[in-house]
Every structure is written in C-alpha cells, then in structure tokens.
Structure 1
Amino acid sequence: MTTLNEDDVLEKLEAQNDLASFMTVAHDILLSGIRQFLPSLFVNNDEEILEYAVKPLLARSGPLDDIDVALRLIYALGKMDKWVYADLDCFSQFREFVFASKETVHFHDDITYDFIASLNAITRNTTLFDAIKKMKFSDFNIYSEVRYGSMVKTALTLAVTSLLKELVP
C-alpha cells in the first residue's frame, strides 16, 4: 500500500472538473487513508496476527473495505475524534447522494453549499468559510458561478487533506 503524498492528493483532486468525479477521487483517497490507519488499531501488530487476522479484514473484499464499517470501528474504539468521524461520514453520504441524484450536482449548487456548511474541516476555518458565505450570498453582479465553484472545490480539497492528516496512526 502506498503512502499518500499531499502533493499527489492535491494534484488528483485538482484534476477533477466535475463534482461527481471529485467526490469519487476524494472517496478513494479517504478510503486509502483509512486503510493505512486501520492496522494501527490492532494488538501489537504481531506478524502472525497481521498475516492471518488483519490482512483478511482489510482485503479488497473484506469487511473493513467498506468506508462506513471501517469508520464505525475506528470511532467505536475511541481512535478518532467525533468531528473527524462526522466529516468522513458526511463525505461518504454526500458522494452517495451525488450519484443517486437524477440531476447533475455541481460545485456551485445550493446542496453542495449545505454539504460544506456541515463539514467541521471547513467551518472551523472561519476565514475560508466566511469567504465562501460572502461569495455565495453576494450581489449577483459580483457573483460568478465559476469563481464560486472554484472556491468550493478548493475548500473541499482542503477538507480532504485536513481529514487525511487526522488519519495518522
């Protein structure tokens, strides 16, 4: 398993031009971060335990390959702050919503604003969140869908990198 490099994460997320592809890449990156974090939960990381118990749990079709199950385990063991758990769960749910939606969801849509307004990783950064709010609710002459969408994408990228930093064993 390769270690996630912040520059690679930023590059992968920046390369996405629409919200659906962004959420897919973000989900994959966050799941990879969770997979890297999971082995630190188990007793002593004994070679035998890792080989015969942990590896099957973490395998691609194993029970901990599901982001929701893995998050619940990490949180239940007290190894993750509540805000991190909530943000990661919110990312997972919003990704599902984006793909289940009959209409295309964009970075500049109201539902995306509602999503970012519920992410602690964004709202804790008051300067960033205030700038997004100001642009979202600004006069139409100043408002630009492209600029606003770009700012939302940047905020989501920062949220992903912030959450990854919390997944360090």
Structure 2
Amino acid sequence: MNRLATSSFTKSALRQVAARPAAYVPARVISTQSMDNQQALEFLNARRAERPSSPWHIYQPQLTSMSSIANRATGAALSAAMYALFLGHLGAPLVGAELDSAALLESWAALPGWAQLSAKAAVVGPAAYHTLNGFRHLGWDMGYFLQLKSSYMAGYAVLAGTAVSTAAILAL
C-alpha cells in the first residue's frame, strides 16, 4: 500500500472507532432486574449501610488531622465567646443588668484565685493554640512544612509553643 492509502485507511478506522467505541470494547455480561421505587430505595439504603459514614472509621487519628480539628474547634469556641460577650454588652441594659468594663472588673476581682486562673486558662490556651496553628497554616500556604516530617515537627512546635505561651501568660 502506498502512503496515501495507508493514511486514508487509518483516518477511516479512527473515525469508526470514535463514532462507535463500544463496538471495539469487549462486552461484559451484566444481569439486571427491574425494580419499583420502593425496592430501589431499599437496595440503595442497603448499599449505603455497607459504606463507612465517616473517615473516622477508616483512618487512624494523626497529629495533622487532630490539629486541624482542634484549630477549627478553638476558632469556633473563641468566636462564640466573643459574640456572647458582645451580645451581652448590647443586651444587658435591656434587662436592667450592668455589664460594662467596670462591672466585669469588679466581678473578676471578687472571684477566688483558682477561678481566675481557670478562666484565664480557658481563654488563653485556645487563643495561643489557634494563633500559633494559624501561623503553621500560613506556612503551609506559602509552601513550607509540606513534607510529612516537617509537618509533624511544626505540629509539635505548635503544641510546645502553646504550652510555653499559655504558662507564661498565666504567670502574669
């Protein structure tokens, strides 16, 4: 065959494959049965019940996943606390309560030392962790700490930094 005929034959064969690819793929035998809507729903729910509903069932907890969850939890808790304080300042006069800075300081001074320390730790610990882990996330965004070893080192550094900064602030 000459070159022109071969090229023409190849183009023709490619057109046929592109037009009918299923004709060139071996068929598999698949048994099917018709179902009404109720049977289909039962079948679907049975298949869903066989799958894990969460990756918690599949994956072992790791430092990276736990620190990500803790970062979100501390951020949500700190935000909720700040919104509660803000709404308390707005709503206190409506119910005849006094919730200004002077009243908060008087209430704080009246608390026993252990309660003050506990309240400070409840705010300072999550704030320190969330801040330091936020810097870790910024590092990831800039392309640092992406290898497994450096990611774990950064995670442990965040935990150590949280412990040190929390203790330092509580000592004030």
Fold shared, TM-score > 0.5 on shorter chain: no
Higher Cα Rg, which structure: 2
What TM-score results when the alignment is normalised by the length of structure 1? 0.33
The structure that is helix-richer by fraction is 2
Greater relative contact order (Cα 8 A, min sep 6): structure 1 or 2?
Answer: 1
What TM-score results when the alignment is normalised by the length of structure 2? 0.32
